[in-house]
A and B are shown apart, each in its own frame.
Chain A
Amino acid sequence: MAGLYVIIAGAGKVGWNLARELLEKGHEVTVLEQDRRRYLTVEQELEHAVQYGDATELWVLERAGIQRADLVVAVTGDDEDNLLICQVAKEKYLCERIIARVNNPRNLEHFKLLGIQPAVSATDLILRLIEHEVPRYGLVHLLDLPEERLEIIELVVSEHAPAAGLPVAEMTLPDGALVISVLRNGSGFVPTAETVVEAGDEVLVVLDPGLEEDITAQFVGDDADERA
């Protein structure tokens, strides 16, 4: 990755550490912090790479050189601020890459509504990790590419699932879903139409977003309710 110019709004733990990492990798960084005391603390280490000011104000963004920024990352503790900073970066200053932090996962839908993507929620990420450790509904999201409308999920096939014991070709999977890998006894293989999927297998399914329920119904069935 060639040297980027990155503006980070918010010098909290996330912003500060992100700035450190990016600077170490040779990128140019400006951090914006509106709290004077926090700014003075961070400035001792980051020096000219941090500026004092409210990043929701246009002149503060302009002073930081938003016109030439390759990436704007908004990681303040305030979701409205993060949303608006990314909105003006994208729509007013035509910055191509933005990343927004979502503090309250319930606000995620606001970010989506206003086209602010990607919006990263630490709570969601941790929930997803917990899901991976304890698959509550037997379903784990391995990859989500909402813009490309593509997802890959992992499921453990239940004993009473409709698809258990069936060859792939005979499963009633919705259009837009494909079994791409089966893991059995610790090793994985790519199934053919004749491959019989057994209870206890882990299957990887690539699918269009929105088909999770249909897929879960086929591979997990009613067990999902019992586990929940």
Chain B
Amino acid sequence: MFVLVIGAGRVGSSVATSALQAGHTVSVLDEDPLSHERLDVELGRGWEEAGGRFTIGTALEMDALVEAGIEQAQVFIASTNGDNTNLVVSQIAQRRFEVPRVIARVLDPRRAAWYREQGLQTICPTQIAIEQLERAALTGSV
């Protein structure tokens, strides 16, 4: 599959790395060239050398999205450190580029839930942390 990851922070770079290791075509878009180094480190060798793609640009720039391969993407993951950017760019991927599978990381639980009701697949790390903490606190198991 062609996987496009927007934002290569801790989460994005890990997902991108495992997708590449699993044999998928992976393209990463990030505005910070430093995130490229994170990919190299996580992978243990050069990102491009291993077949990965990397584009420097901001998520809302059409040109950057196209350069990163959004038109070919089958999976689109919005994992920048901004909820608002993730929500906007994933809706662009969904409605304009009709990417079949779009996933947005949204830290705000209420908006993650509402956008999920609207048909956007959202992952809410905060909600997962809340549930795990509650379980750990109340039952002693994780």
**CA of A83 to CA of B95 in the docked complex: distance in angstroms?**
15
Cβ A80 vs Cβ B118 within 8 A = no
Question: Footprint of A on B, CB under 8 Å?
Answer: 60-62, 82-85, 87-88, 91-92, 95-96, 108, 110-111, 114, 118
Residues of B contacting A: mostly: helix
Question: Footprint of B on A, CB under 8 Å?
Answer: 56-59, 78-81, 83-84, 88, 91-92, 106-107, 109-110, 113-114
Closest to A85 in B: B84
Instruction: Kindly list chain B residues whose C-beta atoms are within 8 Å of the C-beta of A79.
Output: 60
Cβ A92 vs Cβ B114 within 8 A = yes
**CA of A56 to CA of B111 in the docked complex: distance in angstroms?**
9
Cβ B60 vs Cβ A80 within 8 A = yes
Cβ A58 vs Cβ B111 within 8 A = yes
Cβ B84 vs Cβ A81 within 8 A = yes
Cβ A56 vs Cβ B83 within 8 A = yes
Instruction: Kindly list chain A residues whose C-beta atoms are within 8 Å of the C-beta of B61.
Output: 106
Instruction: Kindly list chain A residues whose C-beta atoms are within 8 Å of the C-beta of B82.
Output: 80
Known: A58-B111, A58-B114, A110-B92. A80 touches B84 (CB 8 A): yes
Residues of A contacting B: mostly: helix
A–B pairs, 24, beta carbons within 8 Å: A56-B83, A56-B84, A56-B111, A57-B110, A57-B111, A58-B108, A58-B110, A59-B110, A78-B84, A80-B60, A80-B82, A80-B88, A84-B84, A84-B88, A88-B111, A88-B114, A92-B114, A106-B62, A107-B60, A110-B60, A113-B91, A113-B92, A114-B91, A114-B95
**CA of A84 to CA of B110 in the docked complex: distance in angstroms?**
14
Instruction: Kindly list chain A residues whose C-beta atoms are within 8 Å of the C-beta of B91.
Output: 113-114
Instruction: Kindly list chain B residues whose C-beta atoms are within 8 Å of the C-beta of A57.
Output: 108, 110-111
B74 smallest CB distance to A (angstroms): 21
**CA of A57 to CA of B92 in the docked complex: distance in angstroms?**
21
B73 smallest CB distance to A (angstroms): 17
Closest to B84 in A: A80
Known: A88-B114, A91-B118, A114-B91. A109 touches B84 (CB 8 A): no
B97 smallest CB distance to A (angstroms): 10
Instruction: Kindly list chain A residues whose C-beta atoms are within 8 Å of the C-beta of B96.
Output: 113
Instruction: Kindly list chain B residues whose C-beta atoms are within 8 Å of the C-beta of A81.
Output: 84
**CA of A140 to CA of B85 in the docked complex: distance in angstroms?**
35
Instruction: Kindly list chain B residues whose C-beta atoms are within 8 Å of the C-beta of A92.
Output: 114
Instruction: Kindly list chain A residues whose C-beta atoms are within 8 Å of the C-beta of B111.
Output: 56-58, 88
Closest to A83 in B: B88
Closest to A59 in B: B110
B45 smallest CB distance to A (angstroms): 35
Cβ A80 vs Cβ B114 within 8 A = no
Instruction: Kindly list chain B residues whose C-beta atoms are within 8 Å of the C-beta of A109.
Output: 62
Instruction: Kindly list chain B residues whose C-beta atoms are within 8 Å of the C-beta of A56.
Output: 83-84, 111
Closest to A107 in B: B60
**CA of A92 to CA of B111 in the docked complex: distance in angstroms?**
10
**CA of A57 to CA of B62 in the docked complex: distance in angstroms?**
26
Additional A-B contacts beyond A56-B83, A58-B108, A110-B88 (7; CB < 8 A): A80-B60, A80-B82, A80-B84, A88-B114, A110-B60, A113-B91, A114-B88
Cβ B87 vs Cβ A84 within 8 A = yes
Closest to B59 in A: A80
Instruction: Kindly list chain A residues whose C-beta atoms are within 8 Å of the C-beta of B108.
Output: 57-58
**CA of A84 to CA of B86 in the docked complex: distance in angstroms?**
11
